[in-house]
Amino acid sequence: MQEGGGGGDGMHQLLSILADGEEQARRLLGEVPAAADDQLPLPANKECCRAVAQQLRCTFLKAIAAAKAIEAAAGGGGASGTDSPRSAEESSGAGGVATRVAQDSQGIPKRSRKGLPRWTEKFRIAEASFECTPDDGLSWRKYGQKDILGARFPRGYYRCTYRNTQGCQATKQVQRSDADQAVFDLTYQGEHTCHQKQRPAADAPAVAAARDGGHHPLAATAPIMQEPDVQLLAGLRVETGGLPPSSSFHGHDVSGFSFPCASSAGFLPVELGGQGQLPAGGSCFSPASFASPAVATTLAGSDYFAVTLAGTRGAPGTSELGEVVSAATSSSAAALAVSDYPVYGYHPYQLHQDDDDDLDTLFGHPSSSHGQHGDA
């Protein structure tokens, strides 16, 4: 694969500059404490700074994504009018499966997606919802399912519905825990760069009720600058585990999930585990960025839930960040609060910055030895 001629260097430089800017914005966000810090009202100018910083960061992220797309188009030689990767591949190759190029529409080597932000969430659902799968309110398209070695349940592979049309690289994997069928492991990779609007999670009356009681945490419908950690989490308690509030965490919509099925029920975000990075876009409150690693929900018939978030974008001093978000729900108020508040419910899980395997171990079941796996 050769670098596309001409603008390659310039584009790299642009990408570098944009990345720097994004990093600076991120640091700025880190400098300005969240409104919830110390439960003190934040001076208006700081609020403004946060707003500007987040907008700035969103802008950089979008620009980076756009530049990458341009670079890919220029360098990959596949600058076809259609953004279908297949059409480009097949038109240039000998055709057929054997000539498939391991790049997608963004020119990103598929295996290189390991470099994309990746984080894991765990959800517990009510027993009645075992037939359900989590719905985070975003549009995903299932592109595969595979039996995983040692796992009783197959893993589903989803990508953004708008991958082809908008080049959105977000993907997620959904796997039910074999130790607890009510728990789903959701592994997200890549941030949404598309402009889809996050709809309210389907059939989640409880969640909707919580929103109605306060704010509209959905990024897509909310004005650009909201403080989700304050707004959408009214009534919830969250703990940061003594860690500084992460700018990466602020802004993550934590309420968009549901299980679109009967009993709407109770689904419990059990844990978030990062893999070193949070989605950059996740901290932006714009329709274009809503990859949300954090989760909030109401619990129908659940006693508590906890969310553990691990991993940051590697900012100095915060790379080991882990934010423990836990909440207990009593009676009707299924609320959740993010960070900076004392915890009155605590989940026994710990957070990891590691991968899914580690998360599994948190549930006390390292991969069992069930055999079903592999390609047919």
Partner DNA sequence: AAGATTTGACCAGC
Partner DNA sequence: GCTGGTCAAATCTT
**Contact positions vs DNA (CB under 7 A):** 85-86, 89-90, 97-98, 100, 102, 104, 109-111, 113, 139-151, 155-157, 159, 161, 171, 173, 189, 373-376
CA distances from 11 to 66, 77, 164, 194, 283 (A): 11, 15, 22, 21, 25
CB of 199: closest distance to DNA in angstroms? 13
Category of 216 on φ-ψ map: left (φ > 0), alpha (ψ -120 to 50) or beta: beta
Q: Residue 209 in contact with residue 297, Cβ under 8 Å?
A: no
Q: Judged by CB, which is closer to DNA: 365, or 373?
A: 373
Residue 357, classed as helix, strand or coil, is helix
Which token pair is 76? 């990959």
CB of 11: closest distance to DNA in angstroms? 22
CB of 88: closest distance to DNA in angstroms? 10
Nearest CA to 362 out of 267, 276, 273 is that of 273
Q: Judged by CB, which is closer to DNA: 198, or 298?
A: 198
- Return the half-sphere exposure (C-beta side, CA atoms, 13 A cut-off) of residue 105: 21
CB of 78: closest distance to DNA in angstroms? 13
**Phi, then psi, of 199 in degrees rounded to 5:** -85, 160
Residue with tokens 């919802």: 129
Q: Judged by CB, which is closer to DNA: 172, or 347?
A: 172
Q: Fill in the DSSP letter of residue 12.
A: H
Helix H or strand E encompassing 140 = strand 140-146
CB of 51: closest distance to DNA in angstroms? 33
Q: Judged by CB, which is closer to DNA: 37, or 147?
A: 147
Q: Judged by CB, which is closer to DNA: 3, or 89?
A: 89
Partner residues linked to 324 by β-bridges: 308
CB of 157: closest distance to DNA in angstroms? 4
Cβ neighbours of residue 31 under 8 Å, at least 6 residues apart? none
Q: Judged by CB, which is closer to DNA: 47, or 90?
A: 90
Number of H helices, E strands in the chain: 7, 8
Nearest CA to 306 out of 265, 351, 340, 263 is that of 351
CB of 73: closest distance to DNA in angstroms? 16
Q: Judged by CB, which is closer to DNA: 85, or 322?
A: 85
Q: Residue 198 in contact with residue 253, Cβ under 8 Å?
A: yes
CB of 67: closest distance to DNA in angstroms? 21
Q: Judged by CB, which is closer to DNA: 41, or 374?
A: 374
